Amino acid sequence: MPSGPWLTLLLLLAACRDSPAADGWPRFDAAGGVDPLVLARVRAAEAACERDEPGSLLELAKVHDANGLDNLALEVYTRCLARPDSGASAAELHFHRGRVLEELGRAEEALAAYGASLAEADDYAPVRWRRGGLLLEAGRVDEARADYERALALEPDSVPACLGLARTLLALDRPAEARTLLEAVLARRPNQRFVHGLLARVHLALGDEERAEEEQRLEALARNSPPADRLTADVRKRATGVLASVQRANDLLEQDQPREALEALREVQEHAPDELAVLQALGQALIAAGEPRRALEVLLPGRQAYPGDDKLALFAGLAHEALGAPAAAVAELERARNIDPAFAPTWLALGRVQLVLGRVEASEQALARAVALGEESAGTLLLLGEVQTRRADWAGAVRTLERACTLYPATGAHWTQLAEAHARAGDPAAAEAALTEAVRRGVPARRVEAVRKLLGNAEAPR
């Protein structure tokens, strides 16, 4: 009778056998609608297994894993444990099994898999913080805290481990410590969406509703999130098909890599050129790559095929804007706005283009609507303040620019423009205070003097 690790392995194999495996690994049943790119990737990995190529079984597991075929991935990872030549350590394989079991909602089995990984080696922080998350959800707070602390000992800058430890501190009714921990994370890595979201909960626990609301706003604006851990990122490289390619392209666009985004879309464009997600991503990437005419060649036929989609109309408007055709841009942007009047980027683009056309009042209305919908980037607030200044709406300009200075206090241009708005509104004391802040931030003396002349004081700042 087998015992120890071999008995565990036999039980695992028996438990996860969901599909035929005549020669030691399961086949993917392609019945029903399957993305042809995913199917081709899986069949290629299966063919490598048939040839018994080195590492082919592990590659098949990772292909299944990356493309959402979780039950198959689990079975093949488990079979890899019986292969000393699989190409991965037992600790790594148990870690992958734990991730997949989490995806399948099998928390207790995932905990056991992470425990098996730690029994092999305790040198990979993500095993600890992933297990910590499951323990915390199970109410085992002290055990979860120990895992998060061990993860941070292994990887001191781990954002997921810091988030997990802060959650345990909240569960232990220690919100002030959680706040200190999360603020330190933001000092090292700003603009982290999940950190701002958890800070909102922390401030609510501390009774500070105003700060909580501000953190919720920052959460909505933040674009950064922790990257995948090394082993998980390696698996995700094998993600295939329309949705995976579009997501990869969108990630590259966020990193300001439009050419790489176009390359990521090349294969899927050949196989599914009329898919809505492909048209959207391709149009956006072409605009970002400085090819608005090519973008329109994609977007205009796409808009006719999908008349109810606001993103195709928005991107068409942006392409016309890039070509210096503001009237055509307004037509497309108004179409996008009418389809979805709650999408802030459409209002922002409309405000910019209306300003080019000299429609200052319409521009202000569109920009103000964008801000009301949560678009409070530094550039947007500065532009709205400029438009309000141009319209002599001093009170509106003061409100907008005070908001900009609150959110982005290090930007000298905001303080200078706020000083000008105060000066024109007849509030010299507030203007002087704003100018002092502008000077502290290195605003050129010439710009400061221009505002001082509005105050009837041309003396250089001392």
Average pLDDT, the chain: 89
pLDDT recorded at residue 453: 83
Report pLDDT for 445. 82
Q: What is the pLDDT of residues 375-404, one digit of tens each?
A: 988 899 999 999 999 999 999 999 999 999
Segment 217-273, tens digit of pLDDT: 888 878 788 889 999 999 998 988 888 889 889 988 988 899 999 999 998 888 889
Which tops the pLDDT comparison, 149 or 35? 149
Task: Using CA atoms of 186, 188, 193, 199 in order, give the dihedral in degrees to the nearest 10.
Answer: -20
For 133, counting Cβ atoms within 10 Å of its Cβ (0-12 exposed, 13-18 middle, 19+ buried), the class is buried
pTM: 0.70
In this structure, how many other beta carbons lie within 10 angstroms of the beta carbon of residue 113? 28
Residue 215, both tokens: 């953190």
**With bands split at pLDDT 50, 70 and 90, how would you rate the model's confidence at 161?**
very high
Q: Cβ distance 63 to 42 under 8 Å? A: yes
Assess whether pLDDT exceeds 60 at residue 16. no
Least confident of 26-35, 307-316, 392-401, 427-436: 26-35
| The predicted structure's pLDDT at residue 267 | 85
Which two structure tokens, joined as six digits, stand for 315?
Answer: 């991107």
| C-beta separation of 41 from 69 below 8 A | no
User: May I ask the CATH architecture of the domain 385-462?
Assistant: Alpha Horseshoe (1.25)
Tokens read off for 185? 């994370």
Confidence (pLDDT) at 220: 80
Mean pLDDT score, 58-80 = 96
* pLDDT value at residue 10: 36
pLDDT at 23 over 60: no
- Looking at residue 316, its pLDDT comes to 97
Cα Rg of the chain, angstroms: 28
Chain-centre distance for alpha carbon 115: 30
The answer, yes or no, to whether residue 30 has pLDDT greater than 90, is no
Residues of the chain with CATH 1.25.40.10: 12-221
Say which residue, 457 or 268, is predicted with more confidence.
268
- Beta-bridge partners for 224: 192
- Which of the listed CATH numbers 3.30.1360.30, 3.20.20.20, 1.25.40.10, 3.40.50.720 matches domain 12-221? 1.25.40.10
The CA distance from 25 to 457, in Å, is 83
